[in-house]
Structure 1
Amino acid sequence: MSQPAPYDLPDGIVGLTGAVERPEPGTLPVRADLAHVALAQRFLAVHYVVPHIRTIGDADTPLMLAPRTDSEELATLSAGSAIEALDCSGGWCWVCRGPEGPTGYIPTASLQPADDHAA
């Protein structure tokens, strides 16, 4: 079971009232198709995701800008640290440290199994 979010989720109807600039990739957890639910009042996306709290496995893992091993490395996530998983598919997981980022991709295999992460 996931831990409760350490931030407030939007309440009521969510909408935008004007033009919004997209953040640079790797910064905030916003893509054209998905965005962190805590950013729903700031950014428009097709879907908003309530992240799952997951834990990095036994080894440090690089946070990549794109879901490829030859992509730019943005940061290193420490073994055993908690992250927020937003979208996992094709062997990669789009993750962030929170709604203010940073965000990027890690191999799904670098996460502890879902049943073993801290509740």
Structure 2
Amino acid sequence: MSDVTQYQVPTGQLGLSGPVARPAPGTLPLRGDIAHIALADRYLVPHYAVPQVRSVGEEAVTLRLNPGDDADPVTELAAGSRFELLDTAGAWCWGAVGPEGPSGWLPAAALAPLGQ
């Protein structure tokens, strides 16, 4: 699996044009502090992340709304599924299946080692 994905980075001047409806949690890879680089032309946040493409390890894993085994589930990712890593916090990773989601947290240990 390639660890590089090409996304169209917005060109030209970006500007605010008024209020934007915030998507439901677990949908787009967008938080108050960070978003997927592919969303830069639609949402204003302090930081945009270029994803590190990874894959789920040998066992399926539940993508969750927050870091923690007791957090609400978003979806189940099958073993070997593509995951775009955008942020880490301790033993948890936040990211998405792609720039249009779904997004959430999963244990870092659930990801296959780099290069696999």
Identify whether the pair has TM-score above 0.5, normalized to the shorter chain: yes
SS at 1:53 equivalent: strand
**Consecutive unaligned residues in structure 1, runs of 5 or more:** none
Q: Which residue of 2 aligns with 1:26?
A: 26
Q: Secondary structure at the match of 2:45?
A: coil
**SS in structure 2 of the partner of residue 109 of structure 1:** helix
> Would the aligned equivalents of 1:16 and 1:41 in 2 still touch at CA under 8 Å?
no
Q: Which runs of 4+ in 1 moved over 3 A?
A: none
The alpha carbon displacement at 1:21 in A equals 1.8
- TM-score scaled by structure 2? 0.92
TM-score by length of 1: 0.90
Q: CA RMSD in A?
A: 1.3
Structure 2, unaligned runs of 5 or more: none
Instruction: Tell me how far apart the structure 1 counterparts of residues 78 and 107 of structure 2 sit (CA, whole Å).
Output: 14
Aligned identity (percent) is 47
**1:4 maps onto 2:17 in alignment:** no
Corresponding residue pairs, total: 115
The CA distance in 1 between the partners of 2:5 and 2:70, in whole Å, is: 34
Render the CA deviation track for 1:78-98: whole Å, top value 9, x for unaligned. Answer: 101111001012110001011
1:26·1:74 contact (CA, 8 Å) conserved in 2?
yes
